[in-house]
A and B are shown apart, each in its own frame.
Chain A
Amino acid sequence: MSAQAPAPLMTLDVDPLLLDPRTRIVICCGAGGVGKTTTSAALAVRAADAGRTVVVLTIDPARRLAQALGLTTLDNVPRVVEGVGSEAGGRLWAMQLDMKRTFDEIVEAHSTPERSAQILSNPFYQSLSSSFAGTQEYMAMEKLGQLRVTGEWDLIIVDTPPSRSALDFLEAPQRMARFLDGKMLRLLVAPAKAGGRAYLKVVGAGFALFARILTKILGAQVLTDVSAFVGALDTMFGGFRERAEATYEMLSQPGTAFLVVASPETDALREASFFVERLKVDKMPLAGVIVNRVHRSAVPELSGQRAEAAAEKLAGMGDQDLMAAVLNIHAELMYAGRRESRLISRFRKAHPDIGLHEVPALAGDVHDLAALRAVGAALAG
């Protein structure tokens, strides 16, 4: 540690954020494996206990966490979580996103039964709704929009899909909407509509060649399926792009707060950095950064080196195995803590204006509401 007076650190306090009735949406984002889902669930329990009417949208919770939330059936609708809330009227609902079902529901809600049956059985739609890169992100956004519109909850907490990159959550819906509304798709299916010469005149020979190759590689059936799907979409509703843009717009409104979740490791903090910068560029409301699983000693006044030296001394005395072990455990914890604080302070230096809160590592996994409440208390500091 340097002798200089440390710069004042920006801290993140989640309680005022959760309790402020103006906060309507909290989005937890970050790299995979940093504890996003647990963080979302713990925040939701805490807000409900404090009197808010909360729904938490989880993406892929671990089995025991799902059980802790009472999520035993995956039916794509929020279910009340028993044992959470307060006399002040707080309640908690939880749901797990089923992306295919969400997509199907959009189709069903916006077309006649006959037409939707046609779309749902289209092979291209089936592949799009179950394996398109970005469908999960898109559907998470869509579900968020739906939950918001009902007005049944005054706080919606969203966990984001385990993407390759934390940025996917923001980018995928627009990318997908661009694709579905896109010129390319329309051009590609145009031959079916316009045919021959007129088509060539519009798109040029290069594209025609490409379309031919694509047909060759994928088989003509694919383009026929795509064409049928796009044709059906056309009459279905006012464009995917507008929908995605409306949701994106909603996210930039006051009332939405992004929480970037990380762990004190190089990769996770790098992802967090990207995300923080991206949110700034997009003028998205960033509430702060949560760093989970930080190792913190209960006895910081005893340095790792002194503990280790004392352990060595005791080892020479004999019959002091336990004491030496206790000191070594402490030394290991101090060293891990020091490595982590270096990484965290580097992050702070790069983002001095962002509030950050460190959450100590848990000794065990989260199995029940009591554990979620403990995590919530740690999140609030």
Chain B
Amino acid sequence: MPATPASGWPQARLHIVTGKGGTGKTTVAAALAIALAYGGRRTLLVEVEGRQGIAQLFDSPPLPYKETRVAVAPGGGDVLALAVDGEAALLDYLDMFYNLRRAGRALRKMGAIDFATAIAPGLRDVLLTGKVKEATTRTVGGKRVYDAVVLDAPPTGRITKFLNVTAEVSGLAKVGPIKAQSDGVMAVLRSSQTAVHLVTLLEEMPVQETIDAIVDLTASGFPVGAVFVNAARPLLLPEADRSRAMAGRLGVARIAAGLELAGLDSTLAKGLTAEAVAHAQRFAVQDESRDRISELEHPTYELPLLAGPIDRADLFELADILHDAGVQ
């Protein structure tokens, strides 16, 4: 596995994690946030889609709109989490720039906030990414509050549009505070402070989406970080028997003899052989996918398939694997 020593993102502090639906991007984002907190560092894990996926993973109550500690990393690091929602972010914004928190609440009752974020679809994304940028660059007493911020971002199909806030609002706002805000966000997102990571399974469709997303992200000027291969299965067959299985020459008789030796019913041989062949076929798809990923020439980290559903302990196990592979 080509885990480059510099981990592929020497200066990145904002880690944006995307992937096709069902690839486990929230799991990978959470494991990454823990891995980056090893040895007394402090990280923030952010979600923006209102799914409360982080709370479910960490088995904690729904996250409030407030940075909350969800885990302590090995060696004493802090992992905080935040669920940003568009409405709260707009209220924050109104408060910050117009001192309007109370009026904002009244407007929310009228449905006006919902409306404002609806009328300008880009506005919501600017506010969400704006909050992430704020946390990334926040300092107290001249010191960064977070060593790293990990964003559980929208899926690959929407990621470039989501990050491309300037383009989204440019048709809407040519001047004014939102324009200034989006330009500020964009400057951070396109800088070496940011790395956009892609999560994929070793299957054709997620790999294709990963490849397409990398092309789009690169064309829009976003720095692509690593590819995280999730849920990789180990090859259980001996290497020598693998090609035989693929060619359908595993030998039912051989398996039947083995079954007898193990004290099992030899008539099961046919079914078990078919399972072994299917295993070899799946593995071939994995290998093909891995080859396509390595052609991308981005640092790649591989995480094993865990017996689901994923829980807190699994997150620490995955974080350990990432840490050992050089993620820091």
Contact = CB atoms under 8 A, between A and B. Distances in A.
B130 interface: no
Contacts of A165: 51
Contacts of B157: 60, 162
A282 interface: no
Is the contact region of chain B dominated by helix, strand, or loop, or is it mixed?
helix
Interface string A191-218: 0000000000000001101100110111
B241 A325 contact: yes
A365 B161 CA distance: 28
A25 interface: no
A328 B171 CA distance: 58
A345 interface: no
A218 B115 contact: no
A326 B273 contact: yes
Given A60-B157, A162-B157, A320-B258, A31 B272 contact: no
B203 interface: yes
A203 to B, nearest CB: 10
B153 to A, nearest CB: 12
Interface residues of B, number: 72
A179 interface: yes
Interface string B251-263: 0001100110111
Contacts of A364: 281-282, 285
A330 B172 contact: no
Contacts of A225: 172
Nearest to A226: B119
Given A213-B100, A218-B120, A33 B275 contact: no
Contacts of A333: 275
Contacts of A265: 308-309
B122 interface: yes
B61 interface: no
Contact of A310 (B123, B177, B262): B262
Interface string B228-253: 00000000111001000000001000
A164 B49 CA distance: 8
Contacts of A298: 270-272, 274-275
A179 B174 contact: no
A218 B237 contact: no
Contacts of A218: 119-120, 123, 172-173, 176, 178
B312 interface: no
A209 B100 CA distance: 10
A299 B268 CA distance: 7
A171 B174 CA distance: 32
B140 interface: no
A266 B308 CA distance: 9
Given A213-B100, A219-B179, A126 B171 contact: yes
B271 A299 contact: yes
A127 B122 contact: yes
B121 A322 contact: no
Contacts of B179: 219
Given A127-B122, A213-B94, A218-B173, A314 B279 contact: no
Given A133-B118, A268-B22, 13 more contacts: A132-B118, A179-B115, A206-B106, A206-B107, A210-B107, A218-B178, A221-B172, A263-B22, A298-B275, A299-B268, A306-B264, A310-B264, A336-B307
Interface of B: 20-23, 49-51, 94, 98, 100, 103, 106-107, 110-112, 115-116, 118-124, 155, 157, 161, 168, 171-179, 203-205, 208, 236-238, 241, 250, 254-255, 258-259, 261-265, 268, 270-276, 278-279, 281-282, 285, 307-309
